[in-house]
């Protein structure tokens, strides 16, 4: 049994522990298209297969959709965020993803969603993709920014030369213990829809939720991580379970963000929403003892 439990919110026990998150490199890319429907198609494609940097080239997600009056070119758009271990890894992933999923996608254009006075932090995007133009590409000044006009079959792909990068936070998390799968999933879905309204954050997993929580290491030498058996309800009799009595299902929400504050704000919105839902027994968070990750989000601090 988990021994931290001292806190409570709306009758739900909150473990007095913390989520341990890591410093990472992130960027924000704005994609626009002729219609909202094409924005959604492009955004889903480019941010797909990007749940965890453990085995994907990046963690990615849709921060929010932009109405035409919010977007750089007066068309419907979406703000996307991408995170990786290093700026070079991020540059490689973003350029390849945009090249395969946005350059190819009807009517789209691509802009930087983050700028920084320090140009050394920039990621070359259009600057790499322009070569696809085979010499027919032309560059265009836009205030103090540079856009590339790359000829494609439906006209031109407009792509910004550089996109800014920032030191972000990856791995903020909440772990929700519920009576059963249906209560657990509905409560976690409710939390996700509250958290998605917090800007400067994304939830990289499918629909914002992870059900395959992992621990470091496994009994198979080659495997670096394996199922977090202490949180698996079906094997509680066979292992040293951390689950409160009556737990039939556990979900985790992982949050990446631009900095500590928005990640904390998203965790708070999620925690308060979860604790309003039926069938929730406990909320806790995942950490590695605090030695690996620089950012510690104490659940205690989320409760007013």
**Footprint of a copy of itself on residues 36-55 (CB under 8 A)?**
36-38, 41-42, 44-52, 55
x/- map, 136-175, a copy of itself, by CB under 8 A: x-------------xxxxxxxx------------------
Q: Using CA atoms in the order 223, 203, 257, 183, what is the torsion angle rounded to 10 degrees?
A: -100
The reply to whether 89 sits near a copy of itself by the rule CB under 8 A is no
Tokens 């026990």: give the residue. Answer: 13
Find the binding residues for a copy of itself in span 182-201 (CB under 8 A).
182-186, 188-191, 193-194, 196-197
Which residues in the 219-248 window bind a copy of itself by CB under 8 A?
A: 219-220, 223, 225-229, 231-235, 238-239, 248
* Token pair in block for residue 134: 């085979």
Total residues contacting a copy of itself by CB under 8 A comes to: 98
Q: Which of 1, 3, 11, 69 binds a copy of itself (CB under 8 A)?
A: 69
In the list 104, 115, 259, 296, the residue contacting a copy of itself (rule: CB under 8 A) is 104
Of 15 and 42, which CB lies nearer to a copy of itself in the complex structure?
42
Three-state SS sequence of the chain: CCCCCCEEECCEEECCCEEEEEEEEEEEEEEECCCHHHHHHHHHHHCCCCCCCCCCCCEEEEEEEECHHHCCCCCCEEEEEEEECCHHHHHHHHHHHHHHHCCCCCCCEEEECCCCCCHHHCEECHHHHHHHHCCCCEEEEECCEEEEEEEECCEEEEEECEECEEEEEEEEEEEEEECCHHHHHHHHHHHHHHHCCCCCEECCCHHHCECCCEEECCCCCCCCEEECHHHCHHHHHHCCCCCCCCCCEEEEEEEEECCHHHHHHHHHHHHHHHCCCCCEEEEECCCCCCCCCCEEEEHHHHCC
- Residues numbered 6 to 25 that lie near a copy of itself (CB under 8 A) are none
Least Å from the CB of residue 39 to a copy of itself: 10
Query: At its nearest, how many Å lie between a copy of itself and the CB of residue 185?
Result: 5
Nearest-approach distance from CB 237 to a copy of itself, in angstroms: 11
- Closer to a copy of itself by Cβ: residue 5 or 41: 41
In the complex, minimum distance from the CB of residue 215 to a copy of itself, in angstroms, rounded to a whole number: 8
| Separation between Cα atoms, residue 175 and residue 231, nearest integer Å | 9
- Shortest distance (Å) from residue 116 CB to a copy of itself: 26
Q: Considering the rule CB under 8 A, would residue 272 count as an interface residue with a copy of itself?
A: yes
According to CB under 8 A, which one of 199, 206, 246, 301 is a site residue for a copy of itself? 206
107, 124, 259, 260: which one contacts a copy of itself (CB under 8 A)? 107
From the CB of 117, what's the least distance to a copy of itself, in Å? 29
């Amino acid at each position: 049994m988990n021994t931290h439990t001292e806190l409570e919110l709306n009758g739900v026990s909150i473990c007095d522990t913390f989520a341990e998150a890591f410093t990472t490199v992130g960027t924000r890319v704005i994609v626009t298209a002729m219609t909202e429907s094409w924005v959604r198609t492009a955004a889903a494609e480019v941010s797909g297969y990007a749940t965890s940097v453990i085995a994907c080239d990046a963690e990615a997600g849709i921060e929010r959709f932009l109405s035409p009056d919010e977007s750089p070119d007066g068309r419907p758009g979406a703000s996307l965020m991408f995170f990786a271990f290093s700026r070079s890894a991020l540059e490689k992933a973003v350029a390849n993803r945009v090249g395969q999923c946005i350059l190819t996608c009807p009517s789209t254009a691509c802009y930087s969603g983050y700028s920084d006075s320090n140009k050394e932090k920039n990621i070359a995007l259009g600057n790499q993709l322009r070569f696809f133009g085979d010499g027919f590409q032309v560059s265009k000044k836009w205030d103090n920014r540079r856009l590339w006009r790359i000829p494609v079959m439906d006209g031109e792909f407009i792509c910004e030369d550089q996109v800014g990068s920032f030191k972000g936070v990856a791995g903020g998390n909440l772990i929700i213990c519920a009576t059963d799968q249906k209560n657990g999933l509905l409560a976690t879905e409710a939390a996700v829809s509250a958290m998605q309204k917090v800007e400067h954050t994304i939830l990289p997993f499918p629909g914002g939720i992870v059900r395959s929580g992992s621990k470091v290491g496994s009994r198979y030498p080659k495997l670096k991580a394996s199922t977090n058996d202490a949180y698996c309800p079906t094997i509680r009799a066979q292992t040293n379970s951390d689950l409160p009595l009556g737990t039939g299902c556990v979900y985790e929400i992982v949050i990446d963000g631009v900095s500590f504050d928005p990640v904390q704000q998203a965790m708070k919105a999620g925690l308060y929403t979860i604790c309003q839902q039926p069938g929730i027994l406990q909320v806790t968070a995942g950490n590695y003892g605090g030695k690996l990750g620089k950012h510690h989000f104490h659940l205690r601090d989320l409760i007013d």
